[in-house]
Structure formats: C-alpha cells, structure tokens
Amino acid sequence: MRIARFVVDSDPLYGVVEGEPGSEEITVINGDPFFNGVERTHVKHKLEDVRLLAPIIPRSKVIGVGRNFAEHAAELGNEVPQQPLLFLKPNTSVIGPNDPIILPEFSEEVSFEAELCVVIGRICKDVPEDRADDVIFGYTCGNDLTARDVQKTDLQWARAKGFDTSAPLGPWIETDLDHEDLAIQGRLNGELRQDGSTNQMIRGVRELVSIVSHAFTLLPGDVIMTGTPAGVGLVSEGDRFDVEIEGIGRLSNPVVRR
C-alpha cells in the first residue's frame, strides 16, 4: 500500500495511491494513519491534480547511518566503522517531492546520497532484530545531502548533515515491501550516478532498526536513513537529483542557491 501526504487546496491530507503509472488516483483517508489506521473515505483525486508533500514530517527525529556500504566508504577514503556510525538530522531538514534543495551559504561542496529510508510505525525501544518488522510502518526514498567541506572541518556532523532541506523524502510510503534486494539508483540531471542494491548493506534493515532502537526510543513517524551506495557526487545550482528505489518510486528535487 502506498501512503502519501498531499494538498489539494490548503490543509495537508493523507491518502492511498492506487493505479498504474500515468493513471493513478489518490483516495483520501481519515486522519493520521500512524494513529488512526487506514480508513478510506469516498473522496478521490487524480494524482496529477494534487501536490505531494513529504510523506512524513517526523515528530521526533531522522536518524542517519554513515558508511553502511563498503564501496561508498572506500570512495571517500574511509574505513568501514566497527560500530554503527549514527547521526541525527532535525525534522526541519525534511522536504518533499519537487521541493527545492537550498544550498547553504556556508558550503561550496554539497553532495547527494540516494538512500532507502525506514519509517517507524509505533513507539519502541530495545527492539530485537527478529521483531523489527513489527515496528516498521513502511519505506520511502530519501536523499541524505551532505556538506562535504563542512563535514571535514567540523568535529560533529550537525551542520554538514542537518541543514534546512538536507533530507528530501518521498514520493510516498510503501507499506508492503521486501527490502532484502532492492535496486537503489541516483540520477543527476538524468545521468545515472549511483546504482546499488540493498543487498550491499553492511547492516541490513532489521539489524539497523534494532541497533538504533537500543540507542534511542523511536516514535511513530521517525525515519531511519540506511546508508548510500557508491557514486556520490556534488550538486550545483540548477541541477536536479532523482532517487529511485525499486518497489517504491522516484523522488525528484531541483537544486537552488539563495
């Protein structure tokens, strides 16, 4: 099931996206699916007639996982960490499909990172790996934008990873997905730059959910960004970057500087 967040006139709504590409419709659901479940109404819209928003604005946090693909770690001259390398991005970093990525004035080297993102569905703590599926609401595409120059100079990654618009998410949340071997692709201005698979993760989805939940209490709507395959590069004003993940869809964002 594809759960989207969108606007038609003013207030954001949630809905279920159904149909084949080019003829999809979105059926409005009552309330917030994280707390009310998925209760369809009789109101429908053509997908092309609505504006998709980030499928979730985390009430609490976005948790990133650094260097979870060996080839990506190597391309930046880093070793694979012996312990999970976790970092936080504020919810103010989240934007949705087609929202502009605004390059921060303090960086000249912002890079893209196409990632599978896990959306948490219930409050949880110290989740055993074999119970991870019980706390996952679904999956979406993400772009963990990183100010590389600032990442190299700052002792912590808060500015480098957490600046406004550094966490595009979307286009929707897919609730039913086999995440073991999904193609992850990133395209810069239509050119394929990243081409990996979730089977290349050093730590898989279930292990990451368990690890993260042992560090932080997870709340409904929290997002875990699971790491990026090799091929990262820089974005510039006027670019557009697309993240496409098998079984989910495509997230596309333009890049601007203000």
- What is the per-residue pLDDT for 9? 85
- What is the per-residue pLDDT for 88? 98
- What is the per-residue pLDDT for 10? 81
- What is the per-residue pLDDT for 125? 98
- What is the per-residue pLDDT for 186? 98
- What is the per-residue pLDDT for 52? 98
- Taking CA atoms, 107 is separated from 152, 161, 169, 252, in Å, by 11, 11, 22, 22
- What is the per-residue pLDDT for 38? 96
C-alpha 255/C-alpha 87 separation (Å) is 24
Sign of the Cα torsion 116, 172, 249, 97 reads: negative
DSSP class of residue 133 equals: G
| Full set of structural domains in the chain with CATH | 2-52 (no CATH), 62-257 (3.90.850.10)
Query: Helices marked H in 53-179 — which ranges?
Result: 70-75, 148-153, 158-162
C-alpha 37/C-alpha 219 separation (Å) is 16
Report CA 188 to chain centroid distance, whole Å.
17
C-alpha 113/C-alpha 144 separation (Å) is 5
- What is the per-residue pLDDT for 21? 87
C-alpha 235/C-alpha 200 separation (Å) is 24
Q: What is the mean pLDDT of each run of 10 residues along the chain (258 residues)?
A: 94 95 94 94 96 94 95 86 93 98 98 98 98 98 98 96 98 97 98 97 97 98 97 98 98 97
